[in-house]
């Protein structure tokens, strides 16, 4: 039985090209079939969400995969700058280490919906996606 497309659009906020590639490959292994939009830092993420500059026609994502450790503006700063209507979008924080992610999630628990360790596993992501 084929599952319905849960997410039409995913915004991946990730500054490591290798992690971007791995995440895109992981998404192909799920039955979710999303369109993935990638930005490399928090400044671009906010522009995408606010539909500013080159992102004037960006779609509203169904979920945000937000790396916590970004070079220009980190995930915590992005969360602090998000406007109220953006907070309705489910946010999954992603981190290179589960321990670091859990510690960070403790600080940000009211601002994110979940946290995953990189590299993201397809079955783990799919189960989480269905629960959101």
Do 101 and 117 meet the contact criterion of CB atoms below 8 Å apart?
Answer: yes
52-76 confidence digits (pLDDT tens): 999 999 999 999 999 988 888 888 8
Mean pLDDT over 24-45 rounds to 91
- 33 pLDDT above the threshold of 70: yes
Domains of the chain: 9-131 (3.40.50.2300)
Among 91, 98, 97, 99, smallest CA distance to 128 is for 91
- 115 pLDDT above the threshold of 90: no
Do 75 and 92 meet the contact criterion of CB atoms below 8 Å apart?
Answer: no
* Cα–Cα distance measured from residue 97 to residue 117, given in angstroms and rounded to the nearest whole number: 6
What is the share, in percent, of the chain residues with pLDDT greater than 90? 42
């Amino acid at each position: 039985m084929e599952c319905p497309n849960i997410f039409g659009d995913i915004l991946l906020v990730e500054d490591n090209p290798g992690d971007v590639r791995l995440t895109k490959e992981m998404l192909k292994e799920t039955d979710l079939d999303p369109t993935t939009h990638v930005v490399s830092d928090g400044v671009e993420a906010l522009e995408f969400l606010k539909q500013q500059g080159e992102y004037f026609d960006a779609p509203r994502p169904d979920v945000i995969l937000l790396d916590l450790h970004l070079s220009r503006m980190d995930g915590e700063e992005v969360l602090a700058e998000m406007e109220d209507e953006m907070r309705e979008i489910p946010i999954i924080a992603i981190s290179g280490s589960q321990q670091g992610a859990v510690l960070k999630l403790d600080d940000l628990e009211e601002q994110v919906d979940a946290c995953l360790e990189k590299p993201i596993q397809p079955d783990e992501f799919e189960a989480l996606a269905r629960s959101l």
